[in-house]
Amino acid sequence: MTTTVEPPAVESAPTPRKARPAKAGRARGILVTLSCVWLVLLVAAFTLQPWLPLPDPARSDYGAIAVPPGASPDHLLGTDEIGRDILARLITGARVSLTVGIGSVAVAVVIGSLLGICAGFFGGRTNRVISGVIDVMLAFPALVALIALTVFMGPGMLTIIVGIGIVASPAVARVARSATLTFANREFVTAARSMGAGSLRILRREILPNVVVPILAYGTVLVAVAVVAEGSLSFLGLGVPPPQSSWGTMMGTGRSELATHPHIVLLPAGAMFVTLLALNFLAEHVGKRFDIRESVL
Amino acid sequence: MRNLIVFGTRLIHLLAVLLGVSFLVFLLLDLLPGDTAEVIVASSDNPSPGAVEAIRRELGLDQPLLVRFGMWLGGVVQGDLGHSYRTGQTVVDAVGERLPVSLELLVLTEVISLAVAIPLAVFAARHRDRLFDRISAAFTFGLQSVPNFMISLVLIVVLAVQLNVVPALGFTPLSEGLGENLRSLAIPTLALSCTLIPLYARVLRNEMIRTLQEDFILMARAEGLPPRTILFRYALKPSLPTLITVVGINIGTLVGGAIVVELISGLPGVGTLLFSAINNRDYVLVQGIILVVAAAYVIANFLVDVFYTILDPRVRA
């Protein structure tokens, strides 16, 4: 995982200069549609996998070792160094990547929102304690924590999802905290309180509906980060255990064949790249749409 | 004077965060299954019954968590982070041996990233929404979607296997010549830079665009100053603080976050040391390295704050 940390997309100030050409807008629309199509395609492929006429992703075809794409009618995208069908493995990998990506962001959003909203809403000592916890967690090297967790707990889908979720939660908490801060003292909150509403009711009815948009928008940014994290872990051999395959695992194990059979590494790399591109595009689109500014940090 | 108070409180905050991190590491390693005693016994030739208990007592592992934390912390204050049970080397020595490699990688990466990202961002902001800006946006966006281990692989295929201009694996220390040293660092440096450049370029471009709309830029333009002077002398400086914050955050994460890239290139840096320590369940070593990495992160952010204050007079008030 590249643990590059980026503040949520900074919108440039409203354009007084000249209107963006309509053509650029249309191109953007097409790209967003394409991104959605790709992700839907991936989801459809792995849900329908049992019924697709594809070889078993875990079975080796010893008559076809390291076949390049297009060379064999049985294996559309060829086979890897021990004769497993690459297309079938790519589809299983898509399931792992997207499940981990979305699952871990869900975990991060739940933990992060809980911490951040409490800190922002209650203020005072609660805020100081939670902010301290967030600072400590942010200073904790994320990938290191993840690797340690998977080595000691034994690799598994659940460990990875929870691990990435926990590691990503302080960033969500920061966003949630500052989003809550901007609403905690607004008139409608005071009004609700003066009408006798308790903290819980205010949190649920007044605060939550307002902060959920920036939090989820930030969450969309994190999905791509989580997919990269899973890829890095798998690449190091710490991903989901076999017979499940993951794009990272495919690249990690195929690395030794790089000079002779590059397709074994390049195909999963390509799949991952297109997926990340799609996820980043959608995240940026969502950010623009809901006008997520740096100020929420 | 006021500055000193601000820095003082930041410094205390810094120490508190480090204390928190070290306690968290302690807690984490304690909660996870297994401990050093079991690992030592498991790796010995003829484990005798009760050996685990004996070693636990010897290492003080039978003490409660807080007592052990206190003992460890007492050592840390005196510069003693314990020693690795495998090699017997002290943690300080082990890290000290690897740190220069990681730091060199870090410095080279940051220098290259900034050297590419700053001009890219400045010209993109200057030609906002025009061809150059579009191309640079597409380029950075694409690059951002490539994980660094993928870039490493591609660079190995192209630069090491096909063109054979740099070695694919290994590290040549500086003492054996600067050229060889730089060549052995080329692939990991480029791989890490490729993930930082898009980030830095985007942050700075947006900040520059904001600055270019300020009145003093209009004023400078009205005075007929050449565009280059306006861009690099007038607009760049007030746009830098945000970039510096992002650089600071990433310097911290790079010290430990270069693990994957270090492993692929076989660099003997802190990342590879940490990875093998985790795999060997060398608890004391893992604790020590995480403390060092976290310290690097916190100190880098502290320096950013200091820098910020120097660069932006408004913060000083």
pLDDT of residue A297: 38
Look at B147 and A13 and tell me if their CB atoms are within 8 Å: no
pLDDT of residue A9: 44
In terms of residue numbers, what domain contains B120?
96-316
Checking if the pLDDT of A34 tops 50, the result is yes
Phi, psi of A85 (to 5 degrees): -70, 125
Checking if the pLDDT of A258 tops 50, the result is yes
Q: Does the reported pTM lie above 0.90?
A: no
Q: Which of B24, B149, B260 has the CB atom closest to A140's CB atom?
A: B24
Give chain B positions within 8 Å (CB) of A144.
256, 259, 274, 289-290, 293
Q: Best of A30, A133, A144 to disrupt the B interface by mutation (most B CBs within 10 Å)?
A: A144
Give chain B positions within 8 Å (CB) of A249.
none
**Does B209 contact chain A (CB < 8 Å)?**
yes
Same domain, B166 and B235: yes
Asked if residue B38 belongs to a domain, the reply is yes
Same domain, B48 and B110: no
A12 pLDDT band (50/70/90 cuts)? very low
- Listed residues B47, B77, B107: the one ending a domain: B77
Asked if residue B152 belongs to a domain, the reply is yes
Q: Which of A89-98, A276-285, B308-317 has the lowest mean pLDDT?
A: B308-317
Which B residues, 19 through 38, put their C-beta within 8 Å of a C-beta on chain A?
20-21, 24-25, 28-29, 32-34
Look at A142 and B141 and tell me if their CB atoms are within 8 Å: no
Going from the first residue of chain B to its last (317 residues), give the mean pLDDT of each consecutive group of 10, the final group possibly shorter. 76 85 80 70 67 71 78 80 79 87 90 93 88 88 87 86 80 79 88 90 88 87 86 84 83 74 87 86 83 84 79 63
Same domain, B183 and B211: yes
CA distance B175 to chain A (A): 30
Residue of B nearest to A228 (CA): B147
Residue of B nearest to A11 (CA): B206
pLDDT of residue B29: 75
Asked if residue B254 belongs to a domain, the reply is yes
Asked if residue B55 belongs to a domain, the reply is yes
Q: Could you give the number of structural domains in chain B?
A: 2
pLDDT of residue A154: 77
pLDDT of residue A275: 93
Asked if residue B147 belongs to a domain, the reply is yes
Asked if residue B86 belongs to a domain, the reply is no
Look at B246 and A236 and tell me if their CB atoms are within 8 Å: no
Asked if residue B87 belongs to a domain, the reply is no
Cα B298 to Cα A127, B20, B170, B295, distances in angstroms: 20, 12, 30, 5
CB contact at 8 A, A174 and A134 = yes
Rounded-to-integer distance, Cα A114 and Cα A107, Å: 11
- Listed residues B14, B47, B77: the one ending a domain: B77
Checking if the pLDDT of A126 tops 80, the result is yes
Q: Which residue did the predictor score with more confidence, B221 or A111? A: A111
Same domain, B163 and B255: yes
pLDDT of residue B46: 65
Same domain, B148 and B69: no
Place of tokens 């955050």: B249
C-alpha closest to that of A109 among A212, A238, A263, A251: A212
CATH, residue B158: 1.10.3720.10
The ipTM (two decimal places) reads: 0.80
CA distance A200 to chain B (A): 30
CB contact at 8 A, B252 and A139 = yes
Look at B32 and A153 and tell me if their CB atoms are within 8 Å: yes
Give chain B positions within 8 Å (CB) of A145.
28
**Does B315 contact chain A (CB < 8 Å)?**
no
Look at B129 and A142 and tell me if their CB atoms are within 8 Å: no
CA distance A131 to chain B (A): 11
Which B residues, 169 through 208, put their C-beta within 8 Å of a C-beta on chain A?
195-196, 199, 202-203, 206-207
Same domain, B50 and B22: yes
Give chain B positions within 8 Å (CB) of A269.
150, 153-154
Token pair in block for residue B246? 């992002």
pLDDT of residue A107: 96
pLDDT of residue A271: 92
Same domain, B167 and B41: no
pLDDT of residue A21: 56
Checking if the pLDDT of A292 tops 60, the result is no
Same domain, B266 and B175: yes
Look at B157 and A255 and tell me if their CB atoms are within 8 Å: no
Look at B274 and A1 and tell me if their CB atoms are within 8 Å: no
Q: Which of A32-46, A56-70, A138-152, B47-61 has the lowest mean pLDDT?
A: B47-61
pLDDT of residue A11: 44
Look at B253 and A272 and tell me if their CB atoms are within 8 Å: no
Give chain A positions within 8 Å (CB) of B202.
6, 10
Same domain, B39 and B182: no
Which H helix or E strand runs over A210? helix A208-235
Asked if residue B89 belongs to a domain, the reply is no
CB contact at 8 A, A86 and A55 = no
C-alpha closest to that of A256 among B161, B259, B163: B161
Q: Which of A16, A149, A232 has the CB atom closest to B147's CB atom?
A: A232
pLDDT of residue B256: 60
Checking if the pLDDT of A243 tops 80, the result is no
A2 pLDDT band (50/70/90 cuts)? very low
